[in-house]
Structure 1
Amino acid sequence: MNESEFNALAEATLLSIEQQVEDADTELDFEMSSGILTLTAENGSKIIINRQVATLEIWVAARSGGFHLGRQDDVWFCQSTGETLQELLTRVVVEQGGEKISFT
């Protein structure tokens, strides 16, 4: 995948996450700025999701750690946890804010 393809795919992924948060019946808030999506729980806890063009990865920063996700078999996949991006986000949102949301 080249840089242009990565940027288009990463942007679509971030917009999809944003839309899912907006559509969910939760107190989770979000803000997108310069390719960085910040999810904020009602307790003020933040989860940061951004793209890293140099490594062609999406990075997630949460209380439980920093996670790097590359593309594998057409999904964003974290080598360190074995989770897809959707599984990882579902878990860290529950851990940090107690909100139940399933990302697809």
Structure 2
Amino acid sequence: MTDPEYMDRAEAVLAAIERSCDRINDATDADIDNQRVGGMITISFRNGSQLIVNLQKPLQEIWLAARSGGYHYRHDGREWVDTKTSEEFFGQLSREASAQAGMALQFTAG
């Protein structure tokens, strides 16, 4: 994948995270906050914990930092998958956010 293709796909992920945060706040009492600075989004929860999603352009990856650990995702032609487990990004993000919020939260690409 070329660098411009990577950036288009990666920026779409960040935009989807922002939309998901807005939708979650409208539909639940999760009260999550998201702040974007360049290629990084920090999602903060009521209990003070955070998730950090960061673009890694030189590696063409997206990184997720959570309480449970760090995850690296590469695009496989269809979706972003973890480099170790092949788990899909938005599924993992939803599980991590749910664990840190103490309630079921759903992040989606759409």
Q: Mark yes or no: TM-score above 0.5.
A: yes
Structure 1 residue 56: deviation in Å? 0.4
Judge conservation of contact 1:28–1:99 (CA < 8 Å) in 2.
no
Residue type at the aligned position of 2:83: Q
Once residues 10 and 3 of structure 2 are traced to their aligned partners in structure 1, the CA distance between those partners, rounded to angstroms, is 10
| Equivalent position amino acid for 1:52 in 2 | Q
State the Cα distance separating 1:96 from its structure 2 match: 1.6
2:69 is equivalent to residue 65 of structure 1:
yes
For residues 18-97 of structure 1, the aligned pairs below 5 Å read 18-24=18-24, 25=28, 26-97=30-101
Instruction: Name stretches of at least 5 consecutive residues in structure 2 with no aligned partner.
Output: none
Offset of 1:5 from its aligned partner? Answer: 1.0
Q: Which runs of 5+ in 1 are unaligned?
A: none
TM-score if structure 2 supplies the norm length?
A: 0.88
More helix by share: 2
**In 1, Cα distance between the equivalents of 2:77 and 2:57?**
19
Task: State the Cα RMSD in Å.
Answer: 1.2
Q: Hey, what's the Cα distance between the residues in 2 that align with 1:32 and 1:48? A: 10
Q: TM-score, normalised by structure 1?
A: 0.93
Tell me which residue corresponds to 2:8: 8
Q: CA deviation at 1:30?
A: 0.5
